[in-house]
Amino acid sequence: YLRLAGSAIMKLLIIAPQEPVKTPKKEFTIRFDNLFSERVIRHLTNDYKDLCNGCGNDCNFCRDRFPLLYPVDFKEKIVDIIRLPSEMLYYLDDPREFFPDRKLPAHDVVLAINVHEEMLMALPEMIAEVGGKALVAPGEDPRWLGKWMRGEVKKRCKKLGIEVSFPKPFCAMKD
């Protein structure tokens, strides 16, 4: 769980879309939903009310009763959750403008869920600037990230010595 090769528990930075806008879509924009990212965040913070519904009315609150079997509360390890606009221009002149102080907070790993492709292209350099070690961008939906873009991000990460993973589905991610 959330460990870097042989090291202590890492510091996690999550980047995800805000709540979707409920207005008509503007021209030359892309919309991003936050359904998947909210599920992931709620699992990582053990906020499972109305989320874990496999048992229905027969729920015995196993996550509360058996914390050694279900160690999923990583609230203390999340450095920040950066919420990006859920509607952005198709082309971004400067992806850094969406981050506080145009940089990322110190972290070990970035979990980027359903973010703009140009934002993803900018992340390897931003991660390296603050000493980050890895980028994880789940590919639950094929519209989130194209094959060419995955290749380009991998090249940038390799050049900067940053580990990168694009798990699809996210639950299939291995060390």
Q: How many other CB atoms are found less than 10 A from the CB of residue 78?
A: 17
Report cis status (omega within 30 of 0) of the bond before 24.
no
Which segment of 35-49, 59-73, 85-99, 107-121 scores lowest on mean pLDDT? 59-73
How remote is the C-alpha of 23 from its chain's centroid? 25
Distance, in Å, from the CA atom of 14 to the CA atom of 32, rounded to the nearest integer, reads 15
Most confident of 15-29, 68-82, 150-164: 150-164
- Which pLDDT value is given to residue 144? 85
Q: Give me Rg for the CA atoms of the chain.
A: 17
- Angle 147-160/117-129 helices, nearest 10 degrees? 10
C-beta of residue 84 within 8 angstroms of C-beta of residue 7: no
Which candidate, 164, 98, 156, 81, places its Cα nearest to that of 125? Answer: 156
- Which pLDDT value is given to residue 101? 86
| pLDDT grade for 3, boundaries at 50, 70 and 90 | very low
Determine the average pLDDT of the residues in 51-67. 64
The residue ranking higher by pLDDT, 168 or 2, is 168
Q: Structure tokens of 63?
A: 């996550």
Q: Give tens-digit pLDDT for 97-149.
A: 998 888 999 999 999 999 999 999 999 999 999 999 999 999 888 888 888 98
pTM value?
A: 0.84
- Which pLDDT value is given to residue 2? 44
